[in-house]
Amino acid sequence: MLRTILIPAALAFGLAATPALASGGAPLTKQSWSWDGVFGAYDQAQLKRGFQVFHEVCSNCHGLKLVAYRNLKVIGLSEEEAKAVAGEREVKDGPNDEGEMFNRPGKLSDHYIPPFANDQAARVSNNGALPPDLSLITKARVGGPDYVYSLLMGYADTPEGFTLNDGMNYNKIFAGNQIGMAPPIADDLVTYADGTKASADQIAKDVVSFLNWAAEPEMDARKSMGLKVMLFLLLLTGLFYALKRKIWADVH
């Protein structure tokens, strides 16, 4: 599995003119997401695949500071799997009994440990650009998950007559059509544990689904509560109407 291909650090800097039209001029590719609509909900299997993509590919460059390792149990990881993921990186802690700071493996209570010690280290490793944290990326762009999906799938050959700066890649969606990172996804980039065929399209959909969950993990619970409240209000309205009819039955 490849761990060196990164989600573009420049992802955070893309601007979108409208929900239907990307800043690069090409229309966004509208997707039918499982959570769309009043009755929509996250696909748990897709969330788990999306996390695999994030962990094996995106996390080499990007952080996810609003998600704690214990939260990964919600998307289907066992406690032992979540502990193993957390333990892959170290975090500075302390002071100890001697008053010194020390490094320790991550644990479930930690938030996802970023790949770089600080912002300057991140910039040095990415040609001066600061890779954005992806916790809220699907909420930070007009077009939301459709924008992120379209950007990931928006790489193309440079059209004739277009001047591409050194070290840049052509992208139909990104602002100015030039993006610093190479295409971050490709067919068979990962090997899914559930046997799903890892086409570039599937990988893009899966990681975007996971990132949307990261930005809005309470959505399923909120929708469920909303439906219960609406049903309660309908029942209460019916009871009040019946009571009104009873009270005013003898009034002519």
Distance between CA atoms of residues 67 and 219, nearest Å? 15
In this structure, what token pair is assigned to residue 215? 């930005």
Distance between CA atoms of residues 212 and 136, nearest Å? 8
HSE at residue 71, side-chain half, CA atoms within 13 A, is: 18
Total domains in the chain come to 2
Same domain? For 230 and 212 the reply is no
Same domain? For 119 and 210 the reply is yes
The model's pTM: 0.82
Q: Which one, of 198, 185, 189, lies nearest residue 46 by Cα? A: 198
Residues of the chain with pLDDT under 70: 1-25, 252
Instruction: Confirm whether 238 is domain-assigned.
Output: yes
Distance between CA atoms of residues 119 and 228, nearest Å? 45
Give the pLDDT confidence of 175-233 residue by residue, as tens digits: 889 887 788 999 999 999 899 999 999 999 999 999 999 999 999 889 889 889 999 99
Structural domain span for residue 235: 218-252
Q: Would you state the pLDDT for residue 34?
A: 96
Distance between CA atoms of residues 11 and 152, nearest Å? 9
Instruction: Confirm whether 105 is domain-assigned.
Output: no
Same domain? For 119 and 205 the reply is yes
Using CB atoms within 10 Å of the CB of residue 143, give its burial: 0 to 12 exposed, 13 to 18 middle, 19+ buried.
buried
Same domain? For 139 and 48 the reply is yes
Cα torsion through 141, 146, 71, 12, rounded to 10: -30
Same domain? For 119 and 139 the reply is yes
Q: What does the mean pLDDT of the chain come to?
A: 87
